[in-house]
Amino acid sequence: MSNERARMALWGLAIGDALGMPTQSMAREDINGRFGPIAGFLASPSDQPIAPGRVAGSVTDDTEQAVLLGYSLIEGRGRIDQAAFASALISWEQGMIARGSLDLLGPSTRRAIAELRAGTPAGEAGAAGTTNGAAMRITPVGLAASADDLKALVDVVVQTSELTHNTSPALAAASAVAAAVSVGVAGGAVDEAIEVAIEAADLGSRRGRWVAGGSVSERILWAVSTCAGRGGDALDELYTMLGTGLAANESVPAAFGILAMCPDDPWRACRLAAGIGGDTDTIAAIVGAIGGACLGASAFPASARETVAAVNTLELDSLADGLYALRLVIG
Give pLDDT, residue 103: 61
Please name the residue ranges forming H helices in the chain. 4-20, 28-34, 61-75, 82-98, 107-117, 122-125, 133-136, 139-144, 150-161, 168-185, 190-204, 216-227, 235-237, 248-261, 266-274, 280-295, 302-311, 316-325, 327-330
Give pLDDT, residue 108: 77
Q: Rounded distance, CA 34 to CA 27, Å?
A: 11
Quickly state the pLDDT bin for 97 (edges 50, 70, 90): confident
**What digits encode the pLDDT tens for the residues 235-272?**
999 999 999 999 999 999 999 999 999 999 999 999 99
pLDDT of 99 above 80: no
Q: Rounded distance, CA 60 to CA 22, Å?
A: 10
Instruction: For the beta carbon of residue 309, count every other beta carbon within 10 angstroms.
Output: 16
Q: Which domains does the chain have, with CATH numbers?
A: 4-330 (1.10.4080.10)
Give pLDDT, residue 1: 40
Q: Rounded distance, CA 186 to CA 202, Å?
A: 21
| 3-state secondary structure (DSSP) of residue 133 | helix
Q: Please provide the DSSP assignment of 154-202 as one string.
A: HHHHHHHHTTT--BHHHHHHHHHHHHHHHHHHTT--HHHHHHHHHHHHH
Portion of the chain with pLDDT greater than 90, in percent: 79
**What digits encode the pLDDT tens for the residues 160-213?**
999 999 999 999 999 999 999 999 999 999 999 999 999 999 999 999 999 999
Which amino acid, residue 38?
A: I
Nearest CA to 246 out of 154, 157, 180, 169 is that of 169
Q: Rounded distance, CA 253 to CA 234, Å?
A: 13
Q: Are 147 and 182 in contact (CB under 8 A)?
A: yes
DSSP 58: -
pLDDT of 158 above 50: yes
Q: Across residues 129-138, what is the average pLDDT?
A: 95
Give pLDDT, residue 208: 95
Q: Count of alpha carbons within 13 Å of 320, Cβ hemisphere only?
A: 26
Q: Please provide the DSSP assignment of 285-300 as one string.
A: HHHHHHHHHHHGGGSS
